[in-house]
Amino acid sequence: MLLNMIQPLRKPSIPRCSAYIFTRLQSTFYQNRHLETYISKTTQRLTLRQLVFFGRHMNEERLIKSANYVRTELPVRIAHRLRDLQNLPYIVVTQEGVSKVYELYWSAFEKFRRYPPITTLSENDKFCEFVNGLVNEHATVIPNLSLGLSLSSPYLAPDELDSFMRRMLTSRVSRRVLVEHHIALTEMFRGRREKEASGEPHVGIIFTGLKAKKSIERCIKLLRERPTWVEDFNEKIDQWPEVIIDGQLDTQFPYIKEHFEYIIFELLKNSMRANLLAHRNSPSIPSIKATIAAGENDIGVRISDQGGGLYSDSQINEPADLFSFSHRRNAARMEHSRIGALRSASYSNKGVLATVAEQVDRWNHAKSDEVKDQATCTEPHPRIGIGLPMSNIFATYFGGSLELVSLDGWGTDTYLRLPKLGTNLEGIEV
Ligand code: COI
């Protein structure tokens, strides 16, 4: 069965984990008594509305309840993902990037499992420090997983590989949402959090009236003023495509700003690149259109470019293949430059996802231009192929969707739909 899945074509030499990690892997792989207990528990999934309602009128008792929810919920979510990792063929789980993630998750699982109940505000402060440490420690999980699974893709059927990655990434987003929301609620309650620079109302990390147009404008500004993402263009760019925002411009909805802006940033970035590349020899670069629509249950954003579409010079067969981590669906996964960029990102202590989201966030928080200069990451963005798959994970996390439609020879339309009532539970894969 496994042999059938092995493609004889291109087997990369897979860097294996260190002897130390290999021994740790062996010793933890079958020590499953506690793991079994946690895997038998079901996750307590939440809706956006529950997160807002619970956090809105905060008091000591609620904050401590929130801390204990995070303390008991995270090991359950991590345990399910540890089981997913154990179910991979051994040749995959012992691969460099994957084994690193397995180690990190095993260690976080053990720490959470042993963490004593939180009963006071000062114990909660310590708990926040503890989880914040883990958030930083796990910064490179995505490039590591992506590197490991791209390199292992000859050993896994594409559907199996993609559903594994989907569960890993959705679950990671979910854990960070719970942790970051709790930390934000604590900081607000303890009076340690500065007021939002933009003045937009929020509860924890959820913006209760996120203004779609304002977010789009912030992303455009960041893309134009800090074009580190065009670092691999050979030509100097002296003309930027204009972005025209139209539709229902006063649309507001409750959402996690960081997620919405991550998606918009990525989509606009792709459209700008495509327009610039397709029209680099023309006297003018066509504009990009961002249309906002407010439906009864959802908000929609359509981004249309004239970058020639998705198929002209790529090896993908359908747009959804761009979300895939399998080289059989998306050949770019095995390109040397991609693997090299992933490898560097997997060793960086910053984490790639953080750089984009944090840039937008730090930019939003910075008050003066001088502070903005310091706040914005000046390093170029490595092109590691994470932007679209992650945007898809963020879009679908609370039941939205992301679709790409290519008008080959002309351009691409991307449709983002996000639920606006906040009543959908987090995805089943958490
Ligand atoms: C992750 O970032 O992968 C996490 O699971 C973070 C969590 C342990 C706080």
Identify which of 38, 74, 138 to mutate to test ligand 1's pocket (most ligand atoms within 8 A of the CB): 138
How far does the centroid of ligand 1 lie from the alpha carbon of residue 405, in Å? 33
* Cα–Cα dist 171/401, whole Å: 17
Identify which of 134, 136, 429 to mutate to test ligand 1's pocket (most ligand atoms within 8 A of the CB): 134
* Cα–Cα dist 42/209, whole Å: 32
Instruction: Calculate what percentage of the chain has a pLDDT beyond 90.
Output: 60
Mean pLDDT of 29-34: 72
134 lines ligand 1 (CB under 6 A): yes
131 lines ligand 1 (CB under 6 A): yes
Checking if the pLDDT of 29 tops 70, the result is no
Q: What is the pLDDT of residue 426?
A: 93
Contact 420, 254 (CB under 8 A): yes
- Average pLDDT of the residues of the chain: 85
Q: Kindly write down the DSSP assignment for every residue of 185-220, as one continuous string.
A: HHHHHTT-SPPPTT---EETTEEEEEEHHHHHHHHH
Identify which of 165, 172, 174, 349 to mutate to test ligand 1's pocket (most ligand atoms within 8 A of the CB): 172
Looking at per-residue pLDDT, the higher value among 237 and 270 belongs to 270
Mean pLDDT of 214-232: 82
Order of all β-strands in the sheet with 206-211:
202-203, 206-211, 252-256
128 lines ligand 1 (CB under 6 A): no
Residue 9's alpha-carbon distances to 86, 184, 228, 327, 421, in angstroms, are: 26, 49, 36, 12, 48
In total, the chain counts a number of residues equal to 430
Q: pLDDT tens digits for 369-398?
A: 444 444 444 444 557 788 899 999 999 999
Q: pLDDT tens digits for 100-146?
A: 999 999 999 999 999 999 999 999 999 999 999 999 999 999 999 99
Q: What is the pLDDT of residue 54?
A: 92
211 dihedral zone (left: phi>0; alpha: psi -120 to 50; beta): beta
The owner of tokens 């956090």 is: 55
176 lines ligand 1 (CB under 6 A): yes
Looking at per-residue pLDDT, the higher value among 305 and 329 belongs to 305
How far does the centroid of ligand 1 lie from the alpha carbon of residue 78, in Å? 8
How far does the centroid of ligand 1 lie from the alpha carbon of residue 172, in Å? 6
* Domains of the chain from N-terminus onward: 32-190 (1.20.140.20), 207-367+382-419 (3.30.565.10)
Looking at per-residue pLDDT, the higher value among 27 and 280 belongs to 280
- Residue 129 one-letter amino acid: E
Q: pLDDT tens digits for 51-101?
A: 999 999 999 999 999 999 999 999 999 999 999 999 999 889 888 799 999
Note the Cα 302 to chain centre separation in Å.
20
Q: Which two structure tokens, joined as six digits, stand for 285?
A: 């670069």
Q: Residue 139's beta-bridge partner residues?
A: none
Contact 416, 267 (CB under 8 A): yes
Across 295-321, b (16+ Cβ under 10 Å) vs e yields eeebbbbbbbbbbbbbeeeeebeebbb
How far does the centroid of ligand 1 lie from the alpha carbon of residue 135, in Å? 5
Q: Whose CA is nearest to atom 2 of ligand 1?
A: 138
ipTM of the complex: 0.96
How far does the centroid of ligand 1 lie from the alpha carbon of residue 145, in Å? 13
Checking if the pLDDT of 8 tops 60, the result is no
108 lines ligand 1 (CB under 6 A): yes
Backbone phi and psi for residue 207, each to the nearest 5 degrees, phi listed first: -90, 120
Q: What is the pLDDT of residue 372?
A: 46
81 lines ligand 1 (CB under 6 A): no
How far does the centroid of ligand 1 lie from the alpha carbon of residue 138, in Å? 6
Mean pLDDT of 297-315: 89
